Amino acid sequence: MGGGTGDSAPSDSSPAATGSEAVVPAASAAPAAAAAASPALVDNTPAVPDPVAPWVAAAQSRQKIPFWAIPVLALLPIWAAIYMLTLDTPTPTELGPYEAGAEVYNNKGCSGCHGGAGAGNGNNPALIGPTGATKVFTVPANQVTWVILGSAGYKAAGLETYGDADVVRPIGGGMPAWGEVLTADEIMDAILHERSALNDEKFDIATWRDGFEEALSALLPAEQVAQFTAVLDKWEKDPPAPAA
């Protein structure tokens, strides 16, 4: 019972109390605020600043140097150096067999002993002329095993001479074995260079196929024979062409 009268008593009196309190300040505050505002506006009028040109305001509010600019600028020379390295090193795989062969011949050791034009020097025989590579090796097959095994490899296989029946030469020693140093592609490309660029032989897949597997199989393991035969298969599909 007491709860019932307690509930009803405030609900009856509260709208009256809030209503009377709300009305009195609202009515008195509005004229007071208006009266206070109008003299203040008049006082402030002379103090309004000169208008700022929009481009000046834009320049002042614009962010100057972004926070990430310093590390980016610092890394720029490193990026430039890496970028230039990618330009300077074309990989041999991008070259055709002719260009790659010239590259191997001139930059991987052959020209050091045999000369850039194949003229030879001292004990290092010429690869051109009457005892040149295409005369000693009428077809590339035995030239391939010779370059793979070198003087010592040929001797280890019980051979006393190198070359085909036409121009057989005694093994004097000194020709390195390249089979462990160069890839099958590099050796084939270098031999192509010796036969074409140095000796003017025109590429013909039949000449390269002639006795190839028999000659290699006689001196080399089957796996290595397969690697070199794979180069021939590639050349048959896509014959080497000299650069224009």
What is the distance between the alpha carbons of residues 183 and 185, in angstroms, rounded to a whole number? Answer: 5
125 scored as a contact of ligand HEC (CB under 6 A): yes
Which one, 124 or 138, has the nearer CB to ligand HEC?
Answer: 124
133 scored as a contact of ligand HEC (CB under 6 A): yes
- Contact by Cβ (8 Å): 217, 227: no
123 scored as a contact of ligand HEC (CB under 6 A): yes
Task: Name residue, tokens 């605020």.
Answer: 33
What is the distance between the alpha carbons of residues 104 and 24, in angstroms, rounded to a whole number? Answer: 104
205 scored as a contact of ligand HEC (CB under 6 A): no
Residue 187: CB minimum distance to ligand HEC, A: 7
The count of chain residues that interact with ligand HEC, using the rule CB under 6 A, is 26
What is the distance between the alpha carbons of residues 134 and 137, in angstroms, rounded to a whole number? Answer: 5
Residue 76: CB minimum distance to ligand HEC, A: 42
What is the distance between the alpha carbons of residues 92 and 104, in angstroms, rounded to a whole number? Answer: 9
Contacting residue, 96, 99, 103, 151, with ligand HEC by CB under 6 A: 151
- Burial category of 103 from C-beta neighbours within 10 Å (exposed 0-12, middle 13-18, buried 19 and up): middle
Which one, 142 or 232, has the nearer CB to ligand HEC?
Answer: 142
Which one, 136 or 225, has the nearer CB to ligand HEC?
Answer: 136
Q: Residue 225 contacts by C-beta under 8 Å, 6 or more apart in sequence? A: 213, 216, 217
Please, what is the end-to-end C-alpha distance for the chain in angstroms?
Answer: 114
Residue 186: CB minimum distance to ligand HEC, A: 8
119 scored as a contact of ligand HEC (CB under 6 A): no
- Which residues in this chain contact ligand HEC in the complex, by CB under 6 A? 109-110, 112-114, 123-125, 127, 131-133, 136, 143, 147, 151, 169, 171-176, 178, 190, 194
